[in-house]
Amino acid sequence: MNYKKVFGLLLIGLVVLAAMIIFIGPGEIISALKQANMNYVLLAIILQVITMILWNLRWSVILGGLNIAHKKITLFAMLLVGLAVNNLTPSGRGGGEPVRAYLLSKNTNSSFKTTFATVMGDKLFDIFPFTILAIIAMIYLIFTIHLSIVMLATLIFAIILFVALLIFIVYICINETFGVRVIRWVFRQLNKVIKRNIEPYEIKILNSLKGFQTSLLYLLKNKQIFVSAIFISFIAWFLEIMRMYIVFMAFGVQVSIGMVAAVFLLSTLVGMIPTLPGGLGAIDGVMILVYSLSGIPPFISTAVTLVERLISFWMVSVLGLLTLPYFGTGVLDEVDIN
């Protein structure tokens, strides 16, 4: 992992966030933060922990479907590391998935293509409910907030692009012929810009594709796994929305749960675009902007966003980094190599 690049991008994100705070007014924001009810903040933290436990449970259900023996506590540690990598790399919340797959493969002696299939299955089971909720959220915002033509067009384009990308990824995962074509096309493009020989990597990925697709297809077609994982995902998303709502309660702000859900899901969608680590700056900006457009004072919107991100981004990242030594601090570099 290129740590200098990660820290550099994090710094850029923090600068963007700091600029927004300065523009809105740090004095009012600090004053609002001082008045926050810590009992509600603590409750929001508890909901975040429960949400992560649910994510771990969903992954465990998937592993059980493929008869991969595991300990839930170790699995939770892998999840935390993966979440931290997701947050600290500009990968659209996807950089931690290979790390999770690698750690699982290393700790269970399962093939990487099988463990990666479990991680991708976990990701897809998470994205399916999110897509439905995001579409509903966009419709809600269109009818409740007066959006400019540009913002409206951007919203519609973003959701269409996201759905199209989701369909594209799923098709790659389940159609071997199409998957092979895409991989070969990608490597042809890489060969144009990379001077060293990358053919061994192409062969390795192509050889892994079939086993990966077989495992993933099994997960998607297994009704019990599918229903259980989707059900857990909906509960997890609901708790994430409730966490945001409770943060608003900490500041004594009256806001509809529909608005909270819509803005949270929209900002999450923006965070999936690979830009800065964890969507730092982008997610925060969307939250502050749209909540302010809905009538909430900008300094309150900013204070709420800061607390929410402190819980969902910074706390999770720190927990993941603290867990990393359990697997060995060099594990991230090992993933890069393999």
**pLDDT higher than 50, residue 338:** no
CA 196 to chain centre: 32
- The residue among 231, 235, 216, 236 whose CA lies nearest residue 65 is 216
User: Residue 78's pLDDT band (boundaries 50, 70, 90)?
Assistant: very high
| Separation of alpha carbons 156 and 50, rounded Å | 32
pLDDT at residue number 337: 39
pLDDT at residue number 25: 77
Specify whether the CB–CB gap between 100 and 335 falls below 8 A: no
User: Residue 10's pLDDT band (boundaries 50, 70, 90)?
Assistant: low
pTM beyond 0.75: yes
Higher pLDDT, 27 or 330: 27
Specify whether the CB–CB gap between 90 and 276 falls below 8 A: yes
Report the chain's mean pLDDT, rounded to a whole number: 81
Quick: pLDDT tens for 25-48: 788 888 888 888 999 999 999 999
Domain ranges of the chain: 30-337
Residue-wise DSSP of 110-177: --HHHHHHHHHHHHHHHHHHHHHHHHHHHHHHHHHS---HHHHHHHHHHHHHHHHHHHHHHHHHH-HH
